[in-house]
Amino acid sequence: MKTGFLTLDAIEAFDRDGYIVVENLLDAAETELLGTIARRDHALTAARVSRADGEGGSVDLVVENELPADSLYAAIVQAEPLVTAMESLLGDEVYHYHHKMILKEPRVGGAWTWHQDYGYWYNNGCLLPDMASCMFAVDRATRDNGCLQVLRGSHRMGRIDHIKRGDQTGADMERVNVALQRMELIHVEMAPGSAVLFHGNTLHRSDQNVSENPRWAFICCYNTRSNNPYKDGRHPHYSPLLRVAANDVATIGHRHLQRL
């Protein structure tokens, strides 16, 4: 995994815009391992669920609260460069809140409605929006295959009310539509292995995959230790991370692959 990517300029950009893009956060070998493992992972396939998007499509995903021991997934979530970056951005020790794989297949992968992650996580007993996610592109992410979209600076709006939309929960569109008039809409197109780190209050969505190409994405979600939930919810309470050296990510990935 790349090291030294969180510069002072990147921290300022995250505070200002609510997100930063890190090109090639995983190198080519690590990215190939992630794609190969995910597509051979029978446990991941068995846990796959669909969520109707309210727009006539559905998104397949797998959400996991536990980090599988000696797995590439756990190695990425706990990789020292990423954990250190998240702690710098959020100003506190972070822990694994959950991770997920988004599986947008060609021509059938659905949309994600406009939402804030904290719009969901608020109801899990997290008092503060001191939370963030890192989305890795497993496949190339483009406008055609439904890449992530963000509203630059929307994290400064605070938490917006969320309502049910299909099988998903989406932000109040009255406020979103005004935000769309006043804030810059960014399509986060990324090469495989690149990543976007975004704040828990950043408004984001993705369109349906209308292309012939898949768009799988791996998302690591973090909460801060001081924001430990005050009640039980869907995702875990604080537990310290076992930090993984950047150079060990591929080694762990090879061991994971050999077990499949």
Is residue 196 situated within a structural domain?
yes
Domain membership of residue 2 (yes or no) is no
255: in domain: yes
Is residue 1, in this structure, part of any structural domain at all? Answer: no
Task: Please indicate, yes or no, if residue 69 is contained in any of the structural domains.
Answer: yes
The total number of structural domains that make up the chain: 1
What local confidence, expressed as pLDDT, does residue 54 receive?
A: 67
Do residues 213 and 94 make contact, with C-beta atoms less than 8 angstroms apart? Answer: no
The conformation of residue 159, written as its DSSP 8-state character, comes to P
The residue among 10 and 50 whose pLDDT is bigger is 10
94-145: pLDDT as tens digits: 999 999 999 999 988 788 889 999 999 999 999 999 999 999 999 999 999 9
Which structural domain, as residue segments, surrounds residue 158? 8-230+238-259
- Residue 226, in any domain of the structure: yes
Q: Can you give the CATH number for the domain in which 62 is found?
A: 2.60.120.620
- Residue 48 near residue 61 (C-beta atoms within 8 A): yes
Assigned domain for 3 exists: no
Q: What is the pLDDT of residues 131-156, one digit of tens each?
A: 999 999 999 999 999 999 999 999 99
First and final C-alpha spacing in the chain: 22
Q: At residue 93, what are phi and psi to the nearest 5 degrees?
A: -60, 140
pTM of this structure: 0.96
Contact criterion met (CB below 8 Å) for 94 and 86: yes
CB 30 within 8 A of CB 71: no
- Position 168 in a domain: yes
Do β-strands 204-206 and 148-151 pair in parallel, antiparallel, or remain unpaired?
A: antiparallel
Nearest to 202 by CA among 121, 110, 146, 138: 121
Report the C-alpha gap between 68 and 78 in whole angstroms: 12
Q: Which of 185, 221, 191, 190 is nearest to 205 (CA)?
A: 185
Which tops the pLDDT comparison, 112 or 11? 11
Higher pLDDT among residues 57 and 148, named by residue = 148
